[in-house]
Amino acid sequence: MTLTELRYLVTLATERHFGKAAERCHVSQPTLSVAIRKLEDSLGLTLFERHRHGVLVTPAGADIIAQAKVVLQETDVLERMARHSRDEFAEPLRLGAIFTIGPFLFPALISQLRQERSPLKLYLEEDYTHVLDERLAQGELDAILVAMPFEPPETRITPLFNEPFHLLLPADHPWREQDVIRADALENHPVLMLGEGNCFRDQVLETCHLGNQGNQRTGSSLTTLRHMVASGLGMTLIPAMAVPALVNDDVVLKPLQPHPGRCVVLASRHRFPRKAALAELTRALQTLQLPGCVPAP
Amino acid sequence: MTLTELRYLVTLATERHFGKAAERCHVSQPTLSVAIRKLEDSLGLTLFERHRHGVLVTPAGADIIAQAKVVLQETDVLERMARHSRDEFAEPLRLGAIFTIGPFLFPALISQLRQERSPLKLYLEEDYTHVLDERLAQGELDAILVAMPFEPPETRITPLFNEPFHLLLPADHPWREQDVIRADALENHPVLMLGEGNCFRDQVLETCHLGNQGNQRTGSSLTTLRHMVASGLGMTLIPAMAVPALVNDDVVLKPLQPHPGRCVVLASRHRFPRKAALAELTRALQTLQLPGCVPAP
DNA sequence: TAAAAATACTCCATAGGTATTTTAT
DNA sequence: ATAAAATACCTATGGAGTATTTTTA
């Protein structure tokens, strides 16, 4: 049984004449004749009674024909679905980002896309790097925003920008008058950190040469840390893109010397097929003007 | 797009490995590879991301695969329907009969079939010859019981039996003592007839050489005529098979000389495909012992 | 390096064509 | 006699095979 045979079947059932049905199927009469016979043989029953003046549908044939219409209907649905999916921008791209990027980059990205009337739609998620990596590999996300180092296999990395970390002090902190703080001055000071699993924590520890002292207080998000800083509990580092959202009168922002920071990249699977949609996302990300961030070369 | 391709598609989606999917489809890996590629090309989109360790289904692919399953499901339904219809006795045979046969033959036929535990099931109708003929030609009935003459094209006629007509008199009629009535004696007597359109009416008029006198009273069924005879309104003729149902104390039955009568036949379309079911019906009809009826040669 | 998919090629089944015959009215 | 479907026969597409290459993790 083939879909072509079913199409012939349905046409013959409506035309009730081999010649006319063949014409409507754009094939010769013998072609249609043979196909119908073959179908009847394979099903093991007679679908049509052939008479001098047209053909008659048998009751069994009528049932089969109705079901053949259903099959053809469903293949039609399939083809329409394919036609819809052929538009790369029809479905949203699924984008993930780590907790220290998403809340600060997503708003800018979305407003950028809307302003440009971009056809790209985004489904957004925030999570830890290892979860995003896993979901990317499983095909549950199409692209993720993470910080280097990040080198899993089968993954294409597009560097987006280098982003410095800044120091956040309580408004009444003794260092509030200094223009620049030396990074190594942070040692033995109470630096509030994110919990284990946040790559930002690791980057801060590494780039500022802070040993994992164990007695550091931790917070579950940069916003939480910021509030703890404001309350005078200690100091913390925040990435540059978070500055507008986190800095207010009750905290003081200071640049660090030398510049600790991170490289933010977009990662996607090598074989991901929606190249155009991914290119549009990459372009939009590279166009973003995020505070303190320098486009990667 | 072919059903085979859809089968490969669904198998690959579950196996997520070309080699294993090919094995489950009983084809070689290149065959499956080429078929999937061809399907992707024809749909104009990538359904699978090929990776070193298995393939990944794209979101568009997931939708298409779900729909492919629906299509295959429906073809499966079609094949099951065919398998069911392959049993000639699964569906009832649609049998029609004229008004002067159905009510007297159907009960005997049904009880005969039930007694024999025959697998044949019957859908029954009664109507005029010309309606039955039309419905037979349209394929709305599979076989009809009518009386000769009946010679429409594309129709196979199987003579069943010759059936005499008998005379029905009021219980107090002067002829009640005679053994036999001469058919030509009926002229100028009040013979009650069925209305126009009943072939039995025409047969009575012809075989008894009664002119269509116009002043004959008519009834809508043999049962009605019988009641009119019983009430003394006149006499009438009835076919032999109707005798048990119609003759009682208040009427008298007399044979006629020479024997007027009719030949009852089974008619079906030449090309009707359910030969076995039709043969079973014919056999059952020929086995019937109907009062006064002589099997046709 | 090795596993997996893609490619190259060969073969044959079959869908489709044209010409003709059979069939039943 | 004629219209319609079936049959015969031919061709070419493409589905499926084996052998091999390419890819990339």
Q: Summarize the confidence of residues A261-273 as an average pLDDT.
A: 89
Q: Which of A38, A42, A51 to mutate to test the interface with B (most CBs of B within 10 A)?
A: A51
Q: A160 is written with which tokens? A: 């987006």
CB contact under 8 A, A82 and B44: yes
A54/C25 CA-to-C1' distance in Å = 12
What pLDDT does residue B281 have? 94
Q: A246 is written with which tokens? A: 């986190």
A129/D22 CA-to-C1' distance in Å = 33
Measured between CA atoms, the residue of chain A closest to residue B272 is A49
Alpha carbons within 13 angstroms on the beta-carbon side of residue A179 total: 0
Across the interface, which of B2, B68, B86 has its CB nearest the CB of A44? Answer: B86
CB contact under 8 A, A86 and B139: no
B29/C5 CA-to-C1' distance in Å = 8
Strands, E, within chain A: which ranges? 48-51, 54-57, 93-98, 122-127, 143-147, 155-170, 181-182, 191-194, 218-219, 235-239, 251-254, 256-257, 261-269, 294-295
- Taking 60 as the threshold, does the pLDDT of residue B215 lie above it? no
B40/C8 CA-to-C1' distance in Å = 21
Q: Which of A1, A48, A81, A134 to mutate to test the interface with B (most CBs of B within 10 A)?
A: A81
Across the interface, which of B1, B78, B272 has its CB nearest the CB of A64? Answer: B78
CB contact under 8 A, B49 and A273: yes
CB contact under 8 A, B64 and A78: yes
What pLDDT does residue A124 have? 95
Residue B213 — pLDDT band, cuts 50, 70, 90? low
Percent above pLDDT 90 for chain B = 22
Q: Summarize the confidence of residues B195-221 as an average pLDDT.
A: 75
CB contact under 8 A, A51 and B269: yes
Percent above pLDDT 90 for chain A = 25
A150/D22 CA-to-C1' distance in Å = 28
Distance from CA of B277 to the nearest CA of A (A): 14
Q: Give how far the C-alpha of residue A3 lies from the chain's centroid of Cα atoms, to the nearest Å.
A: 36
Chain A residues with CB under 8 Å of B58 CB are: 139, 273
- Taking 90 as the threshold, does the pLDDT of residue B115 lie above it? yes
Distance from CA of A240 to the nearest CA of B (A): 35
Residue A297 — pLDDT band, cuts 50, 70, 90? confident
**Rounded-to-integer distance, Cα A276 and Cα A86, Å:** 12
Chain A residues with CB under 8 Å of B74 CB are: 67, 70-71, 74
What is the per-residue pLDDT across B26-38, written as a single tens digit (0 to 9) for each? Answer: 898 998 998 899 8
What pLDDT does residue B212 have? 58
Task: Judge whether A88 and A276 are in contact, CB under 8 Å.
Answer: yes
Measured between CA atoms, the residue of chain B closest to residue A275 is B46
**Rounded-to-integer distance, Cα B14 and Cα B62, Å:** 11
Chain A residues with CB under 8 Å of B77 CB are: 67, 70
Q: Which is more confidently placed, A176 or B97? A: B97
Q: Give how far the C-alpha of residue B40 lies from the chain's centroid of Cα atoms, to the nearest Å.
A: 49
CB contact under 8 A, A70 and B74: yes
**Rounded-to-integer distance, Cα B223 and Cα B229, Å:** 10
Cβ atoms within 10 Å, residue B91: 18
Measured between CA atoms, the residue of chain A closest to residue B92 is A59
Distance from CA of A75 to the nearest CA of B (A): 6
Distance from CA of B186 to the nearest CA of A (A): 46
Measured between CA atoms, the residue of chain A closest to residue B138 is A56
CB contact under 8 A, B49 and A271: yes
- Taking 60 as the threshold, does the pLDDT of residue B181 lie above it? yes
- Taking 90 as the threshold, does the pLDDT of residue A98 lie above it? yes
What pLDDT does residue B214 have? 54
Of A109, A95, A96, nearest in space to A289 by CA? A109
Q: Summarize the confidence of residues A52-69 as an average pLDDT.
A: 86
Residue A273 — pLDDT band, cuts 50, 70, 90? confident
What pLDDT does residue A23 have? 87
What is the per-residue pLDDT across B247-262, written as a single tens digit (0 to 9) for each? Answer: 888 888 888 888 888 9
Task: Judge whether B191 and B216 are in contact, CB under 8 Å.
Answer: yes
Q: Summarize the confidence of residues A91-112 as an average pLDDT.
A: 93
Enter the DSSP assignment of B250: T
A10/C21 CA-to-C1' distance in Å = 28
Dihedral, B215, B221, B224, B230 alpha carbons, nearest 10: 70
Residue A212 — pLDDT band, cuts 50, 70, 90? low
Distance from CA of A68 to the nearest CA of B (A): 7
**Smallest Cα–C1' distance to nucleotide D23: which residue has it?**
B52
What is the per-residue pLDDT across A4-16, written as a single tens digit (0 to 9) for each? Answer: 889 999 988 988 8
Chain A residues with CB under 8 Å of B49 CB are: 139, 269, 271-273
Domains along the sequence of chain B with CATH: 3-86 (1.10.10.10), 93-160+263-295 (3.40.190.10), 162-261 (3.40.190.10)
What is the per-residue pLDDT across A135-146, written as a single tens digit (0 to 9) for each? Answer: 888 888 999 999
Pick the range with the lowest mean pLDDT from A109-118, A142-151, B50-59.
B50-59
Q: What is the pTM of this model?
A: 0.79
Measured between CA atoms, the residue of chain B closest to residue A70 is B74
**Rounded-to-integer distance, Cα A241 and Cα A257, Å:** 18
